[in-house]
């Protein structure tokens, strides 16, 4: 089995390892990963790997400092010693960028199962949950689900929190890393909300035309134009995690900063990953926890239905601007990884790795 691994201290250093596949124990299944998606969001998993435990999902043996960045994708059951899981079943969920994975299905029903592997039990349950895929879906829909589903779920959660707090009294919502797909999803949710304040996006100079073309932002500025950010009450949603940019905006807005939400680390190489950093009126947003809290607060199933409705509609509309780029095999993927790691991938593209 081949598996893509990165140096946990220097994400630009990576390798493809060949690993012996273990024999199955009673109750376990082996799945062959069919394909996975990879975006800048996966670099957030790496940057917060120690703080939030992402390195623990698919641990690497040895002490040479390498780890596995988790990915979202689809896989087929190719071997089973679990009574209620048949060979040929298809699963959607959280996988390693590797040819296969051994899982221990627990809490199974007609729609879902959870991986009961011992080392995963202290980790957020959302990432241990797998969807049992019904036959008849299109490959295009599966690609969009793997690429945008996790990101747009986070987008919806952010919109839900912001509107539930009456937009934090802001007269504008400022999105950092406006070209990231999670920002795009949030910008769409806010654009669809006639009560939301205007949305201002910050992005690199080379992405300004693309971000404007989406039609979701009321205005777009480059990072070197922070002084042009209007001095009005502002809630910031930071997908970039660039510590210098965040500090510059705090100094610029001063008393007009009503709330600061840190979400992603697309600028992982310039980030502050200490979860207690940021000062007053600041939080690190963790979508899995928010989903659990909000689901408990609302009538049963309401939050999940609303989120799914948004994700499906937003993903469908992404066909207007998103093009999918497919590569075959872990070795081929490793050649594209450098672009994502460096933040130089075209924001209008989405990468799918077929195994």
Q: What is the CATH classification number for the domain harbouring 185?
A: 3.40.50.720
pLDDT of residue 119: 94
Residue 105's alpha-carbon distances to 34, 145, 188, in angstroms, are 19, 22, 36
pLDDT of residue 201: 98
- State whether 155 and 124 are in the same domain: no
Asked, for residue 347, whether it belongs to a domain, the answer is: yes
Query: Across residues 113-142, what is the average pLDDT?
Result: 91
Q: Does 173 score more than 60 pLDDT?
A: yes
- State whether 21 and 130 are in the same domain: yes
Asked, for residue 61, whether it belongs to a domain, the answer is: yes
Structural domain of 60: 2-136+322-354
Query: Across residues 99-127, what is the average pLDDT?
Result: 94
- State whether 56 and 81 are in the same domain: yes
Asked, for residue 314, whether it belongs to a domain, the answer is: no
From 241, 261, 236, select the one nearest 172 (Cα to Cα). Answer: 236
Distance CA(61)–CA(231), nearest Å, equals 51
- State whether 32 and 112 are in the same domain: yes
- State whether 92 and 185 are in the same domain: no
The Cα diameter of the chain in Å comes to: 62
Chain-wide mean pLDDT for the chain? 91
Distance CA(234)–CA(80), nearest Å, equals 53
Q: Over pLDDT 70: what percentage of the chain? A: 95
Asked, for residue 226, whether it belongs to a domain, the answer is: yes
From 189, 162, 184, 192, select the one nearest 201 (Cα to Cα). Answer: 184
Q: Does 87 score more than 80 pLDDT?
A: yes
Please give the model's pTM, rounded to 2 decimal places: 0.90
- State whether 91 and 185 are in the same domain: no
- Strand, helix or coil for residue 245: helix
Q: Does 272 score more than 80 pLDDT?
A: no
Give rounded-to-5 percent helix, strand, coil for the chain: 40, 30, 35
pLDDT of residue 237: 97
- State whether 155 and 289 are in the same domain: yes
Distance CA(270)–CA(20), nearest Å, equals 37
- State whether 176 and 268 are in the same domain: yes
CB 81 within 8 A of CB 65: no
Instruction: Report the 10 Å Cβ neighbour count for 8.
Output: 18
* Tens-place pLDDT, residues 235-262: 999 998 888 999 999 999 989 999 999 9
Asked, for residue 145, whether it belongs to a domain, the answer is: no
Asked, for residue 163, whether it belongs to a domain, the answer is: yes
Q: Does 266 score more than 70 pLDDT?
A: no
- Total domain count, the chain: 2
Distance CA(127)–CA(114), nearest Å, equals 9
- State whether 126 and 154 are in the same domain: no
From 14, 119, 29, 20, select the one nearest 69 (Cα to Cα). Answer: 14
Residue 279's pLDDT band (cuts 50, 70, 90): low
In this structure, what CATH number is given to the domain that contains residue 114?
3.90.180.10
Q: Does 265 score more than 60 pLDDT?
A: no
Using alpha carbons only, how large is the chain's radius of gyration in Å? 20
CB 2 within 8 A of CB 331: yes
Q: Does 157 score more than 90 pLDDT?
A: yes
Asked, for residue 79, whether it belongs to a domain, the answer is: yes
- State whether 244 and 163 are in the same domain: yes
pLDDT of residue 230: 97
Asked, for residue 308, whether it belongs to a domain, the answer is: no
Checking phi first, is residue 76 left (phi over 0); if not, alpha (psi -120 to 50) or beta? beta
From 347, 334, 348, select the one nearest 11 (Cα to Cα). Answer: 334
From 209, 214, 179, select the one nearest 318 (Cα to Cα). Answer: 214
- State whether 103 and 215 are in the same domain: no
Distance CA(307)–CA(291), nearest Å, equals 10
- State whether 161 and 127 are in the same domain: no
């Amino acid at each position: 089995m081949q598996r893509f691994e990165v140096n946990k201290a220097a994400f630009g250093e990576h390798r493809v390892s060949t690993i012996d596949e273990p024999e199955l124990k009673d109750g376990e299944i082996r799945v062959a990963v069919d394909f996975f998606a990879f975006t800048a969001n996966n670099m957030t998993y790496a940057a917060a790997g120690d703080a939030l435990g992402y390195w623990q999902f698919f641990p690497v043996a040895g002490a040479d400092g390498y780890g596995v960045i988790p990915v979202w994708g689809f896989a087929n059951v190719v071997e089973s010693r679990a009574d209620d899981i048949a060979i040929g079943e298809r699963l959607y969920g959280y996988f390693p960028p590797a040819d296969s994975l051994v899982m221990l299905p627990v809490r199974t029903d007609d729609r879902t199962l959870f991986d009961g592997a011992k080392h995963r039990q202290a980790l957020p349950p959302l990432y241990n949950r797998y969807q049992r895929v019904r036959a008849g879906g299109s490959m295009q829909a599966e690609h969009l689900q793997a690429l945008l589903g996790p990101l747009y779920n986070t987008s919806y959660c952010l919109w839900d929190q912001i509107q539930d707090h009456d937009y934090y009294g802001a007269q504008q919502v400022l999105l950092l890393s406006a070209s990231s797909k999670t920002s795009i999803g949030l910008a769409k949710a806010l654009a669809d909300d006639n009560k939301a304040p205007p949305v201002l996006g910050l992005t690199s100079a080379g992405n300004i035309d693309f971000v404007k073309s989406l039609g979701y932002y009321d205005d777009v500025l480059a990072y070197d134009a922070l002084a042009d950010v209007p001095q009005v009450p502002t809630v910031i949603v930071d997908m970039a995690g660039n510590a210098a940019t965040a500090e510059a905006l705090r100094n610029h807005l001063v008393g007009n900063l009503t709330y600061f939400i840190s979400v992603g680390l697309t600028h992982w190489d310039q980030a502050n990953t200490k979860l207690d950093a940021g000062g007053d009126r600041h939080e690190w947003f963790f979508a899995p926890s928010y989903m659990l809290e909000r689901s408990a607060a609302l009538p049963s199933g309401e939050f999940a239905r609303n989120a799914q409705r948004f994700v499906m509609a937003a993903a469908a509309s992404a066909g207007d601007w998103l093009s999918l780029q497919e590569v075959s095999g872990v070795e081929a993927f490793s050649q594209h990884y450098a672009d994502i790691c460096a933040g130089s991938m075209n924001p209008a593209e989405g990468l799918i790795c077929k195994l």
